[in-house]
């Protein structure tokens, strides 16, 4: 069959093992998953109340334009409804953007250690992938990324805060970068973790859209809103860019339930603020642990940390899994010798760090 030659050997996304699989593998009664940056506090109680009482007609298609959700999000971020694109999670929006702009003969620029779906989709579309090493502090090297842009560049991807390092690029650097990149190159600012940002100098990037219609901002309900299972991501851009992307969106790509729970989640900003505060407490637990044991940890503005273990990441990952904690090995993220760990509840973090001490002792690190 006539498959694209560029997909030969391409690997499907590996989500990692579920808690049930790990329970069976190691005969455990309890397993805590801190691997996928989900909200350990779940979703707003108002979402749960809605789901307990909702009645829907399963035979009817959802609103293909997500009209009510579109109106709610437009009001929340203060843009026109025509400036929004809704996807089946941000992964869907990344695919839509890649399909719309990338093709053989064109290139895309991104960091070498960042969210893997940017590169994955570029390979599928046959575009050249140009990767730029992160700075030592874990930030994107925007100057070097700008230098990689040429007349054949279609997209520049900037994950901010970055996954997996958790680091935030200062707003003044983003603003200078946007001015430097040619106006015919789409700059995607992937802001999946924006609700967790605590940096006082951070300026909302939506203000860039007025003067830079080549900027597209991606956000999601999967992280802070605790709605990952409903798969709702959205992009904010100029009406011109959104109008070009919208025809590539699959019809009815957001379900009836997902649209409604996203609206309810959006209304409960007190829940988001409470999660943010608890997340900061948890982050401090990991920072103190690393400082006491002389382990490097990247400064995180997200709900996860990337921390050094001074051992084979896979071995430490396996050791923790055997003890009932699922994390993410740095080996699969381009950061060997590190673990990416979702910040859980205070009790979950304490339990994990206790088990991590056991594993690192076994590995001769402590």
Domain over 7-36+270-361 is classified CATH 3.40.50.1820: no
The pLDDT of residue 17 is 79
CATH class of the region 45-267: alpha beta
User: What rounded mean pLDDT belongs to the chain?
Assistant: 97
The pLDDT of residue 13 is 82
Distance CA 365, CA 293 (A): 9
Give how far Cα 363 sits from Cα of 22, 317, 319, 340, Å. Answer: 22, 12, 10, 18
The pLDDT of residue 16 is 76
Reported as a single tens digit per residue, the pLDDT across 284-336 is 999 999 999 999 999 999 999 999 999 999 999 999 999 999 999 999 999 99
Distance CA 1, CA 89 (A): 31
Over range 50-65, report the average pLDDT. 96
Q: What secondary structure letter does DSSP report for 297?
A: B
Over range 75-99, report the average pLDDT. 98
Residue with the bigger pLDDT between 16 and 33: it is: 33
Check if the beta carbon of residue 167 is closer than 8 Å to that of residue 301.
Answer: yes
For residue 11, pLDDT over 90 is answered with no
Distance CA 268, CA 251 (A): 28
Q: Which of 98, 146, 93 is nearest to 121 (CA)?
A: 98
The pLDDT of residue 14 is 76
Reported as a single tens digit per residue, the pLDDT across 116-144 is 999 999 999 999 999 999 999 999 999 99
Task: Tell me the three state secondary structure of residue 190.
Answer: strand
Confidence of residue 106 (pLDDT cuts 50, 70, 90): very high
Domain ranges of the chain: 7-36+270-361, 45-267
The structure's pTM equals 0.96
φ, ψ of residue 326 to 5 degrees: the values are -100, 120
Q: Which of 40, 75, 82, 66 is nearest to 261 (CA)?
A: 66
The pLDDT of residue 15 is 76
Q: How far apart are the first and last CA of the chain?
A: 54
């Amino acid at each position: 069959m006539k498959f694209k030659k560029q997909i030969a050997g391409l690997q499907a996304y590996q989500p990692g093992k579920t808690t049930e699989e790990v329970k069976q593998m190691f005969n455990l009664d309890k397993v805590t998953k801190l691997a996928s940056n989900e909200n350990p506090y779940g979703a707003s109680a108002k979402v749960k109340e809605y789901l307990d009482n909702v009645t829907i007609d399963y035979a009817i298609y959802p609103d293909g334009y997500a009209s009510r959700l579109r109106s709610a999000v437009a009001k929340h971020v203060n843009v026109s409804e025509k400036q929004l694109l809704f996807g089946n999670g941000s992964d869907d929006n990344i695919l839509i953007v890649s399909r719309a702009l990338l093709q053989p003969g064109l290139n895309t620029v991104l960091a070498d250690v960042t969210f893997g779906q940017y590169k994955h989709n570029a390979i599928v579309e046959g575009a050249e992938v140009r990767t730029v090493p992160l700075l030592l502090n874990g930030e994107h090297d925007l100057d070097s990324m700008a230098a990689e842009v040429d007349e054949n560049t279609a997209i520049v991807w900037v994950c901010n805060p970055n996954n997996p390092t958790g680091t935030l690029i200062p707003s003044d650097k983003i603003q200078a970068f946007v001015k430097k990149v040619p106006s015919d190159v789409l700059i995607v600012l992937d802001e999946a973790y924006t609700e967790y940002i605590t940096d006082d100098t951070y300026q909302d990037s939506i203000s860039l859209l007025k003067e830079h219609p080549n900027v597209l901002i991606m956000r999601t309900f999967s992280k802070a809103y605790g709605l990952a299972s409903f798969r709702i991501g959205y992009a904010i851009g100029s009406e011109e860019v959104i109008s070009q992307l919208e025809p590539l969106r699959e019809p009815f790509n957001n379900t009836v339930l997902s649209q409604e729970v996203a609206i309810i989640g959006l209304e409960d900003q007190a829940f988001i603020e409470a999660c943010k505060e608890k997340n900061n407490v948890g982050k401090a637990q990991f920072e103190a642990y690393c400082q006491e044991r002389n382990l490097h940890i990247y400064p995180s503005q997200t709900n996860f940390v990337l921390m050094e273990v001074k051992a084979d990441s896979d071995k430490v990952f396996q050791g923790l899994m055997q003890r009932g904690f699922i994390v993410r090995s740095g080996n699969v993220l381009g950061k060997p010798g590190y673990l990416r760990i979702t910040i859980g509840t205070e009790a979950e973090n304490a339990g994990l760090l206790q088990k991590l001490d056991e594993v690192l002792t076994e590995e001769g690190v402590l």
